[in-house]
Amino acid sequence: MPEFCRADRDGRVLTITFDRPALLNALHAPAHAELDAIWNEFEADPELWVAIVTGAGDRAFCAGNDLKFQAAGGSLTSPPSGFAGITARYDLVKPVIAAVNGVAMGGGFEIALACDLIIASEKALFALPEPRVGLAALAGGIHRLPRQIGLKQAMGMLLTGRRVSAEEGLRLGFVNEVVPPAELLPAARRWADQICECAPLSVRASKQAALRGLDAPSLREAVEGRYDQMAAMLKSPDFVEGPRAFAQKRKPNWTGR
């Protein structure tokens, strides 16, 4: 059983919880290894369609690297899949929701930015404070933030390391919804359930095409690009089931295959 995180499945949804609340859910090498294994299982399991990631306790989502572990001589290395096993998992086509319950600093914010949606508690705080201690946000934050909120707004955070509230995150555009703390996980689950109402292969094709299309030199090349998840969607029984269910005025029975 994992020691530094939890993984709980409920139907099609897997909830992953960083479980080091006394350390503000800061992560170290053993935690990264556990999380990498959990993400591998999520990615491979055809019965799981959506993941929610959150932090234990009410103070922090994740405060980034466990610097005390480093100071004691511990390694801060992470797996090839990146910080928390997700920031470099570029080919993950299943949707992931961050339920940010408190502090999301440094690597913690980078985890949230690597997710597809961010649902934030009113108490959430976001920052990439690495320049304040002579470092840089090297787990993708430097590049994901400008892509998600635009260059000037991103530079305002990257060059100062300042803290941003949940409400400001909503205004800037990297937060999807802000809710009271007690409503955070129910809100994240509501989003997950709405995703699960859609055809899973359609969801994965949409995610893959949207993200890969950002790297295309032009809109035309993005639109005309070849995406393996789109090909899988077109060959799936769900491609027939959706229109049939609509015509018959019933809920579709998605197979995800």
pLDDT in tens, 193-232: 999 999 999 999 999 999 999 999 999 999 999 999 999 9
Ordered by start, the domain boundaries in the chain are 5-196, 200-247
Q: Is 130 a catalytic residue?
A: yes
Q: CA-CA distance, 133 to 193, in Å (whole number)?
A: 40
May I ask the CATH class of domain 5-196?
A: alpha beta
Q: Is 110 a catalytic residue?
A: yes
Average pLDDT, integer, range 21-38: 96
Residue of 212, 204, 177 lying closest to 191 (CA atoms): 177
CATH fold of 200-247 reads Lyase 2-enoyl-coa Hydratase; Chain  A, domain 2 (1.10.12)
Residue 63 contacts residue 146 (beta carbons within 8 Å): no
Query: Higher pLDDT residue, 196 or 257?
Result: 196
pLDDT in tens, 94-111: 999 999 999 999 999 999
Average pLDDT, integer, range 36-48: 97
Three-state SS string over 154-191 comes to HHHHHCCCCCEEHHHHHHHCCCCEEECHHHHHHHHHHH
Residue of 54, 45, 47 lying closest to 18 (CA atoms): 54
Classify burial at 178, counting beta carbons within 10 Å of its beta carbon; exposed 0-12, middle 13-18, buried 19 or more: buried
Residue from 130, 197, 221, 224 carrying the catalytic annotation: 130
Residue 161 contacts residue 154 (beta carbons within 8 Å): no
Query: What's the pLDDT band for 69 if we cut at 50, 70, 90?
Result: confident
Residue from 3, 34, 110, 167 carrying the catalytic annotation: 110
Residue 15 contacts residue 56 (beta carbons within 8 Å): no
Q: By three-state DSSP, how is residue 54 classified? A: strand
Average pLDDT, integer, range 17-29: 96
